[in-house]
Amino acid sequence: MTNEPIDQAFLQLPLGYARYTIIVDDISNAKDYILAEANEAFLRYLNLKKEEALHKSIFLILQSASDQRAWYHLYKNPDL
């Protein structure tokens, strides 16, 4: 994130906030999500440490296969 006031506001929200980089295949289907930024509320909710989660695949971050499947089905068709 930049140091723009709006970006800083998102990071300070009491609600969980995360921004991902979406990795797509050759025909623009989302195949992975890399955690680009997250606020403390988001990290706390998922019991993550920022240094262990940032710039990692959501599939590495989420421990259980059921969590991974739920995440993928929820976000598999992002508006790109």
pLDDT in tens, 29-60: 888 889 999 999 989 988 889 998 999 998 88
Q: Which pLDDT score is estimated for 46?
A: 83
Q: Which pLDDT score is estimated for 75?
A: 66
**What's the burial of 72, exposed, middle or buried (CB within 10 Å: 0-12/13-18/19+)?**
middle
Q: Which pLDDT score is estimated for 2?
A: 55
Q: Which pLDDT score is estimated for 64?
A: 65
Provide CB contacts within 8 A for 53, sequence distance 6+.
Answer: 35, 38, 43, 46, 61
Model-level pTM greater than 0.85?
no
